[in-house]
């Protein structure tokens, strides 16, 4: 077991060591699970640290100075730490949007798409807020577990892009199914309506050309 751990990158070993120090052993986990089942409580929190202090630490609001704007878009104040992975800049709009959110939440000026969220100083409470913001930004369901399974910008972007493709495919199937029930005039009206939603200016132009022969 020790030989396997020594082969890990130094930053991952450090992260694992910190997780081990703050976590519980398998035996302790089994005992905690048994005790939880015996309580009958609908929800139980297990923590090796003082839970009240943790909540207060992460959620206590400190008012900013009067000359500091109350905005989440404040500039990052920390440089990117030394990681085992090289910096790779975002390659598309989805990755750029996620990098921007990470910079706001972590306060780090330069974040690569393969950087580990937890090695950058992220934690589960901050991750919960980040995932909530990602859901609002992309209007898709992103499980919190995804951040633990793939704690990188590239990993999250891959899931976002996949969910967006699935939604577009479902919308296309619904449109085709609807068009099959319409006559030729209704099909043209439906397509014009879709064009207006996608591009209002171009949609108005198409609509005026369609109406001109009737004058």
Domains of the chain: 2-58 (no CATH), 93-167 (1.10.1200.10)
What is the separation of C-alpha 97 from the centre of its chain, rounded to a whole number of angstroms? 10
Collect the ranges in the chain with pLDDT lower than 50: 1-6, 59-73, 203, 206, 208, 211-215
Direct distance between the N- and C-terminal alpha carbons of the chain, in angstroms, rounded to an integer: 83
Six token digits for residue 60: 């206590």
CB count within 10 Å of CB 46 equals: 13
State residue 11 phi and psi, 5-degree precision.
Answer: -70, -35
pLDDT at 3: 45
C-alpha span between 100 and 72 (Å, rounded): 11
pLDDT at 121: 87
pLDDT at 154: 94
pLDDT at 198: 62
C-alpha span between 175 and 213 (Å, rounded): 27
C-alpha span between 123 and 96 (Å, rounded): 21
């Amino acid at each position: 077991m020790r030989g396997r751990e020594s082969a890990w990158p130094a930053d991952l070993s450090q992260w694992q060591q910190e997780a081990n120090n703050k976590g519980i052993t398998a035996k302790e986990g089994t005992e905690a699970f048994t005790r939880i089942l015996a309580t009958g409580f609908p929800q139980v929190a297990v923590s090796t640290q003082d839970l009240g202090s943790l909540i207060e630490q992460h959620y206590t609001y400190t008012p900013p100075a009067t000359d500091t704007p109350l905005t989440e878009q404040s500039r990052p104040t920390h440089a990117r730490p030394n990681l085992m992975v090289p910096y790779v800049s975002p390659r598309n709009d989805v990755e750029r949007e996620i990098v921007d959110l990470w910079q706001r939440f972590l306060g780090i000026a330069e974040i690569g798409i393969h950087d580990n969220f937890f090695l950058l100083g992220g934690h589960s409470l901050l991750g919960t807020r980040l995932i909530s913001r990602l859901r609002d930004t992309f209007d898709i369901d992103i499980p919190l577990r995804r951040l633990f399974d793939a704690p990188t910008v590239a990993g999250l972007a891959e899931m976002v892009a996949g969910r967006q493709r699935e939604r577009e495919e479902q919308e296309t199937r619904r449109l085709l199914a609807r068009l099959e029930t319409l006559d030729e005039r209704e099909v043209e009206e439906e397509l014009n309506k879709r064009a207006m939603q996608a591009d209002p200016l171009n949609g108005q132009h198409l609509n005026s050309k369609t109406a001109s022969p009737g004058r």
